[in-house]
């Protein structure tokens, strides 16, 4: 997936209410994005994904999504 002119990144930001800069930084720290030919490209290398899945382990907490109350943060211009 190519991030053209920040379009996909901004779309992800709008969908998740997470700042585009935070998404980019997270993808970079997880080694899931590369800079090629003047643009960022999301790369899901199977070896990198396996490493992250192993580090996360199994299980986790069960979440009752009906109990979540959340309002996305909107920056004021």
**pLDDT tens track for 57-70:** 876 778 898 998 88
Helix (H) or strand (E) holding 39: strand 39-42
pLDDT at res. 7: 64
For residues 60 and 43, which has the higher predicted lDDT (pLDDT)? 43
Q: Note the pTM of the prediction, 2 decimals.
A: 0.58
For residues 7 and 38, which has the higher predicted lDDT (pLDDT)? 38
What pLDDT band is residue 18 in, cutting at 50, 70 and 90?
very high
Helices 20-29 & 7-16, crossing angle to 10 degrees?
Answer: 110
Residue 66 Ramachandran class (φ > 0 left, ψ -120 to 50 alpha, else beta): alpha
For residue 29, the number of C-alpha atoms closer than 13 Å in the C-beta half-sphere is: 6
pLDDT at res. 6: 55
Radius of gyration for the alpha carbons in the chain, expressed in angstroms and rounded: 15
Token pair 């980019």: residue: 24
């Amino acid at each position: 997936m190519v991030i053209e002119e920040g379009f996909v990144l901004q779309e992800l930001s709008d969908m998740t209410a997470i700042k585009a800069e935070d998404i980019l930084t997270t993808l970079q720290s997880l080694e899931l994005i590369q800079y090629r030919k003047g643009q960022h490209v999301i790369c899901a290398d199977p070896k990198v994904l396996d490493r992250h899945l192993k580090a996360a382990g199994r299980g986790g907490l069960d979440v009752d999504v009906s109990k979540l109350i959340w309002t996305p943060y909107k920056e004021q211009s």
